[in-house]
Amino acid sequence: MSVKLVSLKCPSCGKALSVERGAENVFCTYCGTPLRVEPRNRFSFHFFNEAKIRKAEANEKIRMKQLEMKEREAKRKRKDQWIAIAVALLFAFAMIFIPMLLRR
């Protein structure tokens, strides 16, 4: 049984590759780029750029941390507002009732 090869071009380095027909995941023998071959009447390569994937993952983590920080800041502001309201009410209470107590 003979192995049928297909000639394709690496999208990263441009070198010609010989890939076994039916292979799905291969590496370029010249630059080492991981490639996925999808047979559909013709062969095409999908370039997996691990650096872009890692960058996207890092950006997502950063975005999640930023959202977390915004939520904490909003919570702290609400807490500060309630404290300010409580202090204002205590002050108003003191301004109303202390003079009443001193009159007695």
pLDDT higher than threshold 70 for residue 102? yes
Two structure tokens written together for 88: 């204002």
Predicted confidence (pLDDT) per residue in 32-67, tens digit: 877 777 765 344 555 566 777 788 889 999 999 999
Hey, where are the domains in the chain? Answer: 5-48
Indicate the pTM of the whole model: 0.44
DSSP the chain: -PPPEEEEE-TTT--EEEEETT--EEE-TTT--EEEEEEESEEEEEE--HHHHHHHHHHHHHHHHHHHHHHHHHHHHHHHHHHHHHHHHHHHHHHHHHHHHHH-
Residue 45 CB coordination number (10 Å)? 19
pLDDT score at 98: 87
Q: Which of 36, 2, 30 is nearest to 16 (CA)?
A: 30
Q: What is the pLDDT of residues 66-96, one digit of tens each?
A: 999 999 999 999 999 999 999 999 999 999 9
Please give the pLDDT value at position 46.
55
pLDDT for the residue numbered 6: 74
Per-residue pLDDT at 66: 97
pLDDT the model gives residue 18: 81
- How is domain 5-48 classified at the architecture level of CATH? Single Sheet (2.20)
